[in-house]
């Protein structure tokens, strides 16, 4: 099939990446989809990008009809998966349609996932099932609403085909928007090409797109590394603060932009347990909740290694000096992570001062939530109610475990020391502590119903988690954990 070009649209895509790095792409087209039907469409995002008309153009959303300027490509990348290097991964079932200008003028990628086999498909069928694509839609939009950097979901389209997974599933495709699809794995791939110039061009492209300040640095590649270390430290802090477990933090799922990408076996932790693992394939718990900062640091070390050839030529002394420089940048990851996390905890707890004992106070709450097996999301909302209780003396103490109860006086002392109005403190806390996160049991129920053709639960879930800070009538169950401790045995499967 040869896709026809849509001349009616006034949106024009660019092929900046394809032009800059032809060695890292393969020109490719989406497979023909028998009966594309839009089942989820992000009107708000579409409006920001001038793509509102696509709601009624399923053929464009599945890559069957191309927007002007679009030259779809599959991107090449490598990656460390569960610690082992795979020299060639790449978009096995995805296509970059092109870039367009986002609301702030910066380029964003328009990308399809589930668009058919590409030369990188290996054994895969190139397809995606409806459940996992709706899952990425709801998780990415929930993360965005929580203020966590993430790729976005524009649409989910059923294809009219069936796909074969555990059983026979509805085939679907996700239209994704990202500030780019550059991954640590993109650099790992480029670093191993004989032509050193590809890596240098990739560095220049990434700097221009994501960390423009790095261009003027003495060693731009290390300034880029510094920029990526910074955005990843912020990102992982955000994940930890909301209880997000990515589940498959391979280097090919680690972005240069600092956006969360590739929602497969991810889930939100409910009861606080640092060893939480949901992914069915993560047997050793490599990507458990508490490991996420050190795994991110490990992945960034792989980025540093990939960048070395762009800096150190074959001269040995230069290489040694460069390794030392790269190490110095990598060593900033943990302090930057910790400082971002403490800043987040401060605002979650209604505190404004950078007090010396903050670290101990925050660690104390984490330990208490763990001891009580307290629900992470509910705990922080309970704390703002606790602050409000001061102004409404008649209300009863809220329900919390003994360990959190024993921690409360330290926090109250600190709040009192800051002397702010309790109503203001509680309101500030409620603006950063969500009522609604995607609760695993509700996600599963919504996706099961969707697979059977009923999207009502999915829409309600999406409604709850995309306006997560405002309690609303009718959404009570979305504010509560599963009654039967569902998470204890809950398993997620790699997003296929």
Cβ proximity to Mg ion, 24 vs 369, nearer residue: 24
Q: Is 273 a catalytic residue?
A: no
H helix intervals, 349-401: 358-372, 376-389
401-419 as b/e, with b when 16 or more CB fall inside 10 Å? eebbeebeeebeebbeeee
From the list 258, 264, 309, 344, which residue makes contact with ligand AMP (rule: CB under 6 A)?
Answer: 264
Closer by beta carbon to ligand AMP, 4 or else 280:
280
CB of 252 to ligand AMP, least distance (A): 6
Compute the half-sphere exposure of residue 452: CA atoms within 13 Å on the CB side of its CA. 8
**Contact range with Mg ion by CB under 5 A, out of 254-262, 317-325, 355-363, 374-382:** 254-262
Residues 6+ apart with CB under 8 A from 202: 21, 24, 182, 186, 187, 190
Q: Which does 126 bind (CB under 5 to 8 A by kind): Mg ion, ligand AMP, none?
A: ligand AMP
* DSSP 8-class letter at 424: H
Q: Reduced to 3 states, what is the DSSP secondary structure of residue 375?
A: strand
- Residue 262 touches Mg ion, criterion: CB under 5 A: yes
* Residues found in the chain: 496
Q: How far is the CB of 495 from ligand AMP (least distance, A)?
A: 6
Asked if 72 touches ligand AMP (CB under 6 A), the answer is no
Measure the CA angle with vertex 420, ends 414 and 423; round to 5°: 110
Q: Are 348 and 380 in contact (CB under 8 A)?
A: yes
**d(C-alpha 255, C-alpha 330), whole Å:** 16
Residue, CB closest to Mg ion = 262
Q: Which of 426, 421, 403 is nearest to 347 (CA)?
A: 426
Query: Which listed residue (36, 64, 72, 90) binds ligand AMP by CB under 6 A?
Result: 90
Mask: binding to ligand AMP, 123-162, rule CB under 6 A, as x and -?
A: -xxxx-----------------------------------
Closest to ligand AMP by CB, 181 vs 478, is 181
Contact 233, 336 (CB under 8 A): yes
| Distance of closest approach, residue 105 Cβ to ligand AMP, in angstroms | 30
* Of the candidates 244, 293, 288, the residue with the CA atom closest to the CA atom of residue 270: 244
Contact yes or no for 440/270 (Cβ under 8 A): yes
Stretch that binds Mg ion, among 256-264, 281-289, 312-320, 386-394 (CB under 5 A): 256-264
Map tokens 């230069």 to a residue.
318
Q: What DSSP state is assigned to residue 30?
A: P
Minimum separation from the CB atom of position 300 to ligand AMP (A): 18
Q: Which stretch binds Mg ion (CB under 5 A): 49-57, 258-266, 357-365, 474-482?
A: 258-266
Number of residues that bind Mg ion (CB under 5 A): 2
Does 171 contact ligand AMP by CB under 6 A? Answer: no
Q: Are strands 37-41 and 128-129 parallel, antiparallel or unpaired?
A: unpaired
Write down the least CB distance from residue 354 to ligand AMP, Å. Answer: 38
Question: Of 91, 109, 252, 262, which one is the catalytic site residue?
Answer: 252
103 binds ligand AMP (CB under 6 A): no
Max CA separation in the chain (angstroms): 75
**C-beta closer to ligand AMP: residue 253 or 270:** 253
Please identify, using beta-carbon distances, which residue of 253 and 325 lies nearer to Mg ion: 253
Fill in the per-residue mask, 374 to 403: x = in contact with Mg ion (CB under 5 A), - = not in contact.
------------------------------
Q: Which of 18, 80, 93, 111 binds ligand AMP (CB under 6 A)?
A: 93
Closest contact distance (angstroms) between CB of 183 and Mg ion is 8
Return the HEC string of 253-285. Answer: HCECCCCECCCCCCEECCECCCCCCCECCCCCC
- Which residue among 89, 219, 242, 376 contacts ligand AMP (CB under 6 A)? 89
Distance CA 342, CA 354 (A): 9
User: Which residues are designated catalytic?
Assistant: 252
- The residue ranges that bind ligand AMP (CB under 6 A) are 89-94, 120-121, 124-127, 253, 262, 264, 494-496
């Amino acid at each position: 099939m040869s896709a026809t070009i849509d001349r009616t649209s006034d949106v024009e895509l660019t092929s900046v990446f394809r032009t800059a790095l032809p060695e890292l792409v393969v020109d490719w087209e989406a497979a023909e989809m028998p009966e594309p039907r839009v089942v989820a469409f992000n009107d708000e995002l579409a409006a920001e990008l001038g793509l509102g008309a696509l709601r009624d153009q399923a053929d464009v959303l599945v890559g069957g009809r191309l927007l002007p300027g679009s030259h779809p490509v599959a991107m090449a990348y490598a990656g460390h998966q569960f610690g082992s290097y795979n020299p060639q991964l790449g978009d096995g079932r995805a296509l970059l349609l092109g870039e367009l200008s986002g609301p702030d003028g910066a380029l964003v990628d328009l990308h399809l996932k589930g668009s058919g086999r590409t030369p990188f498909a290996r054994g895969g069928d190139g397809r995606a099932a409806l459940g996992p694509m709706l899952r990425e839609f709801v998780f990415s939009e929930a993360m965005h609403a929580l203020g966590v950097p993430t790729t976005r979901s524009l649409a989910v389209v059923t294809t009219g085909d069936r796909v074969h997974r555990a059983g026979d599933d509805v085939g679907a495709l996700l239209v994704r928007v990202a500030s780019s699809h550059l991954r640590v794995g993109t650099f790992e791939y480029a670093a191993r090409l004989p032509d050193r110039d590809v890596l240098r061009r990739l560095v220049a492209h990434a700097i221009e797109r994501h960390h423009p300040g790095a261009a003027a640095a003495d060693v731009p590649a290390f300034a880029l590394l510094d920029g990526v270390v910074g955005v990843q430290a912020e990102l992982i802090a955000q994940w930890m603060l909301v209880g997000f477990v990515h589940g498959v933090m391979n280097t090919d799922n680690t972005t240069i932009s600092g956006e969360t990408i590739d929602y497969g076996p991810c889930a939100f932790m409910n009861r606080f347990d640092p060893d939480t693992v949901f992914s069915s394939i993560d047997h050793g718990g490599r990507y458990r909740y508490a490991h996420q900062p050190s795994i991110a640091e490990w992945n960034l070390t792989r980025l540093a290694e990939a960048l070395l050839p762009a800096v150190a030529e074959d001269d040995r002394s230069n290489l040694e000096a460069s390794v030392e420089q790269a190490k110095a940048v990598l060593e900033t990851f943990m302090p930057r992570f910790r400082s971002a996390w403490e800043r987040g905890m401060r605002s979650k707890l209604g505190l404004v001062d950078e007090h010396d004992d903050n670290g101990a106070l925050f660690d104390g709450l984490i330990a208490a939530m763990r001891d009580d097996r307290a629900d992470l999301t509910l705990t922080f909302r309970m704390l703002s109610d606790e602050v409000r209780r001061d102004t409404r003396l008649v209300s009863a103490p809220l329900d919390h475990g003994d360990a959190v109860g024993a921690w409360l006086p330290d926090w109250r002392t600190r709040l009192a020391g800051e002397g702010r109005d309790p109503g203001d403190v509680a309101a500030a806390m409620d603006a950063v502590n969500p009522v609604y996160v995607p609760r695993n049991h509700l996600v599963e129920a919504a996706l099961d119903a969707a697979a059977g053709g009923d999207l009502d639960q999915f829409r309600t879930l999406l409604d709850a988690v995309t306006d997560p800070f405002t309690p609303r009538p009718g959404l009570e169950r979305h504010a509560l954990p599963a009654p039967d401790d569902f998470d204890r045995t809950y398993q997620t499967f790699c997003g296929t």
